[in-house]
Chain A
């Protein structure tokens, strides 16, 4: 695999994840620690739908994407229902719980997921007879998914619907006082974000062609959250910037010709230092939130 193409694909996928997570964390104010669950669920759903029998259903990539988006959205709904009455930190912990439950399911439901053995040989994505076999093909798909995600999230945040989401972040009780049911809004936001993360997962599965329960770790969740925070909560451009800065920095270390163990540790160190500096000097992230401005009317 060519290095630079792989890097670009991963950047696109991370931007997709970060922007969709920003909808939940930045705009709606729900600290969704177990975000990567949706990514994992989507990847597994797509893999199991597209893999040939007896492991999978042997259906097309498109069906796989739809399945991954739906199943991930369903997981978003699942976590939404009981936990949305929980506030702040409690929601964060409950969402983390969902991640570990899901992980444990993936590891132990061997008849379905083959457990720790993972799912090898996932078919490459294909649409209308065209097989996306090269990295450029995959990159094209990743760019399209990223563009759609940015567009959808942008539209949501500029819409009256998104306005209510942000109001919920600011003061949930206040929103209720105006006759709006916050639970409904929060569940929709969670489902959208989950569906996007699910689709990103399906693309990842089709690209790498192998997934196992260890593909998706809690650290991934934290990384994406940090990228969102780094860039600025409630800012789409911020999320994109966060991913770019973080990826370029961590990938840049590779070229220092350091031993492998050092690279991993150094990455985490750079990341931590970056976060601490940011929280100290620019707590709102690199690009802060922009609010609506209405022109003066006389």
Chain B
């Protein structure tokens, strides 16, 4: 599905990502963990094209291609990668706060009516299309349990609800791979369970998820595979059970739990 090949990225002499390689298989949940400053978010930014790598490659099986054909997207601009079926959320919430929840979702969807020339020639067919989008958006809002809030400004939602809206927005483009940057950070236990169930449900529906998270219980429960970064280097890539007992990972990140 997604392959990261030997990515390097330096910020003024500091190696943020230092030769990182791993694969994300289709229809799995992969977690990216590691101490603060290990290069997780930088790697996310590089994969989605918001940042340019110094060297290395990103290979992606996109929607438009046959499953066996892979495409090198290393030099594609960010918005074009999103069109290929790569969707992400951000570590800090990035909603459109002064637009309604519904509008937030509508903007997140691929919409041919956004073409400027359609502004002046607003036909009935386009109206119908717009209505279909609204219905689809409503479905998504029901999926994340936010449909009652559709006419509220996104900025007025609670923190947890904003996180849910972010996930719904990321889903709106029907992505092949969903990349979530700390989906569980700072939310209460009820919301945490909700996000957990949501991610499992998405996997059931055939989606692929790559996510960054510090909540280890959450990670170990959800992930099929865990990739561990430390100082920009990948130090482990395994199933959760093995990661928990990996000495290098314990030293670098997990620490020892004294009983």
Residues of A within 8 A of B (CB): 152, 155-156, 159-164, 166-167, 170-171, 173-182, 188, 289, 291-294, 297
Contact = CB atoms under 8 A, between A and B. Distances in A.
B118 A161 contact: yes
B103 A173 contact: no
A298 to B, nearest CB: 11
B100 A292 contact: yes
Interface residues of B, number: 46
Contacts of B82: 176-179
A39 to B, nearest CB: 23
Among A164, A294, A297: residue with most chain B CB under 10 A: A294
B50 A181 contact: no
Interface in B104-125: 104, 106-111, 113-116, 118-120, 122
A159 B113 contact: yes
B139 to A, nearest CB: 11
A155 B121 CA distance: 10
A180 B99 CA distance: 17
A159 B79 contact: no
A152 B78 contact: no
A292 B103 contact: yes
B80 interface: yes
Given A159-B113, A176-B82, A178-B107, 14 more contacts: A155-B122, A161-B113, A161-B119, A163-B103, A167-B107, A170-B97, A174-B95, A175-B107, A176-B78, A177-B88, A179-B83, A289-B98, A291-B100, A292-B102
Contact of A161 (B79, B108, B114, B150): B114
A163 B135 contact: no
Interface of B: 48, 50, 77-80, 82-83, 87-88, 90, 94-100, 102-104, 106-111, 113-116, 118-120, 122, 130, 134-135, 138, 150-151, 153, 169-170, 172-173
B185 to A, nearest CB: 18
B102 A162 contact: no
A294 B102 contact: yes
A177 B169 CA distance: 10
Contacts of B120: 152, 155
A287 to B, nearest CB: 15
A9 to B, nearest CB: 27
B119 A173 contact: no
A177 B173 CA distance: 10
3 A-B pairs with least C-beta separation:
A170-B96, A179-B82, A179-B83
A160 B48 contact: no
Contacts of A293: 100, 151
A174 B96 contact: yes
Given A161-B115, A177-B78, A166 B110 contact: no
Nearest to A183: B79
B60 to A, nearest CB: 14
Contacts of B135: 297
Given A155-B120, A181-B79, A160 B106 contact: yes
Contacts of A178: 79, 82, 87, 107-110, 169, 172-173
Nearest to A173: B94
Contacts of B48: 177
A291 B153 contact: yes
A162 B50 contact: no
Contacts of A152: 119-120
Nearest to A284: B98
Contact of A163 (B94, B97, B107): B107
Contacts of A163: 99, 103, 106-107, 114
Contacts of B130: 160
Nearest to A181: B79
A291 B88 CA distance: 26
A26 to B, nearest CB: 11
A160 B111 contact: yes
Nearest to A172: B94
Among A152, A160, A162, A289: residue with most chain B CB under 10 A: A160
A297 B109 CA distance: 20
A88 B105 CA distance: 25
